[in-house]
Amino acid sequence: MGLSTLLLPDDYSSPLDILHTEIAIKTVKDSFERNLAKNLHLTRVSAPLFVGADTGLNDNLNGVERPVGFDVPDCRAEVEIVHSLAKWKRLALKRYGFGADTGLYTDMNAIRRDEELDNLHSVYVDQWDWEKMITNEMRNMDVLEDTVERIVIALKESEYILNDRFPQIKPFIKGSVTFISSQELEDLYPELPPKERENAICREHQTVFITQIGDKLRSGQKHDGRAPDYDDWRLNGDLLLWYPVLNRAVEVSSMGIRVDEASLDYQLRAAGCNDRRELPFHKALLNGELPLTMGGGIGQSRICMLLLHKAHIGEVQASIWPEEMIAACASRGIALL
């Protein structure tokens, strides 16, 4: 349980009551979704809540999380609630006929039963999942960094809209992004574990994008786990913001340029996941039958939590929490929905 990592800020007071919080959540979601679509040239599409268990389409996350599954008798099929739509989106881009530098976004709802619950993590996950077509010439760090900056602009635009409607909520996000690789970060703070490195770099630079996550560093350790079959570990990263309410770094997006045939081949071998080569999605990709894409997920509740200056994600989404956590939060004026 997450009580050991639960942060309870001293003298916390939500700037909005519950009713106005709900109004502000819609303001944030509407404005950010609109700005994200505009800045990245995206079209909204419908998306599945579950996928076939034998398709290889579900996101394996770090490879240890257990999907929630059930059977559909009429289809004689076993299905899984999605963890994310990283692979499904790539197939959808091909099917829908998007052109280069255009793409899709969708509301992704998931259940991650093995999450350790705390201020930032819930069993219920809601994201804007997005994906866009790219060319081979666009598979580079410049394109990735430009996309990150466009996402931060969308965040800033939403902050200003929220502040105009609720003046008591002051903007805090720094608009300029500091880019650093996971290896550069380890070299800078070799004595710190990865999460403390993130806190250290964000405390100094406020808005940070850490690149190249998934492979082993020179220390022999990974900065963080990444499934081998969606992001190219050389062309991906996490967007982090320094969050003064909790006095820590908070990840708001994991994204990247997706694997091509060569990087998927390498990463499956490096991760010891060669058995996935026979799954339909992986076989199609290794055969060069899927388009080149980039994409990511942006947490809806997490963005709302940050922009509304909340101390716990349960203040902006209805989920399930341990009774001890509910009581501990209530003792500090944190009302979980």
Residues annotated as part of the active site: 59, 112, 127, 238, 251, 254
Q: Which residue do the tokens 């001293």 mark?
A: 10
Name the strand (E) or helix (H) holding 301.
helix 300-307
Bridge partners of residue 186, in order along the sequence: none
Provide the CA 177 distance to its chain's centre, in angstroms.
17
β-strands 178-181, 124-133 pairing: unpaired
Query: Could you tell me what percentage of the chain is helix, strand and coil, using 3-state DSSP and rounding each to the nearest 5?
Result: 40, 25, 40
Q: C-alpha dihedral over 154, 158, 159, 164, to 10 degrees?
A: 140
Q: Count the Cβ atoms, other than its own, within 10 Å of residue 280.
A: 13
Q: Cα–Cα distance between 328 and 224 in angstroms, integer?
A: 30
With CA atoms as reference, report the closest residue to 82 among 50, 42, 114: 50
